[in-house]
Amino acid sequence: MQKRRVGTSDLQVSEISFGTMSIGTDEQQGIRLLHEAQDLGINYFDTADLYDQGKNEEIVGKAFKGRRDKVILASKVGNRLDPGGESWHWDASKEYIVSQIKESLRRLQTDYLDLYQLHGGTMDDNIDETIDAFETLKKEGLIRYYGISSIRPNVIREYVKRSNIVSIMMQYSLLDRRPEEQVLDFLTENNISVFARGSVAKGMLSDKASEKVKQKGADGYLTHTYEELMAASEKLSALAEQEHTSATSLAVRYVLQHPSLASAVMGASSLEQVKQNAELSTDQLLDATYEKLQQFTRQITYTSHR
């Protein structure tokens, strides 16, 4: 598994990583999936305190107890569960962040997190207070580094300007190229890495694209209509056949091509999906193929904004 450095940190993460939200609440099954991923070379695992009301962190913690020094663990904070656990509200205060790291560490059965991320962020937050919370946790040795998970360019720019973040997690795919237009080059210039989520766009850029478009894209996706999504899936499948590879591989390798990318964070709910995800690291994207993908993006951008 190829590895990439995260920003200016000493974290070396697998370029295909595991977004654990998809593993479900069956403890034994979740542990099997996580162990399989690690055995195949994936070393970066991303969770959050919100996932399954903390159950996800508990499963991740049990999976890597005794293996902690072999993996890089990341979690997120900021979405505060309301009494009853059926809803949540945003809380980026220092008091809340400092209190929740202890709960996450308890559930994850570890003394520290390699990366702690703000699970969102708005311009209405007291950003300096939020940064101070993460800096405090870093000084106390409870976290090694911190970052944010956000798709808001204005928020991202404020954290880059004011803080010592090493990474941004954001949605990025052939169907959502806003990061290219708004922040990727800026992040590269500032030595901040990107963890990309949604690189196969809910499966609509995968080997089951047409099926997934029917399931997930009936009402459209971002600015793309259902008809445009179906046309895009057919074009990508045709290109994959032409290049003797898979649509999933083309979609993920396109995202990883940008120099700001540290890893594509992929979900999996079966052992077969874990294996397929890990195998993506062995694929290479030729320059000629990348140019064809760029042509593909121009086509779908044009039709979706006509």
Which residues are catalytically annotated? Answer: 51
| Type of residue numbered 119 | H
Strand 79-81 relative to strand 167-171, pairing: unpaired
Three-state secondary-structure class, residue 263 = strand
HEC profile of 2-60: CEEECCCCCCEEECEEEEHHHHCCCHHHHHHHHHHHHHCCCCEEECCCCHHHHHHHHHH
* Half-sphere exposure (Cβ direction) of 296: Cα atoms closer than 13 Å: 27
> Cα-Cα-Cα-Cα dihedral of 126, 130, 133, 138, to 10°?
-150
| Cα gap 270→292, rounded to integer Å | 32
Residue 111, token pair as written in the block: 């003394």
Give the chain's length. 306
| Cα gap 42→44, rounded to integer Å | 6
Q: Which residue has the tokens 């311009």?
A: 123
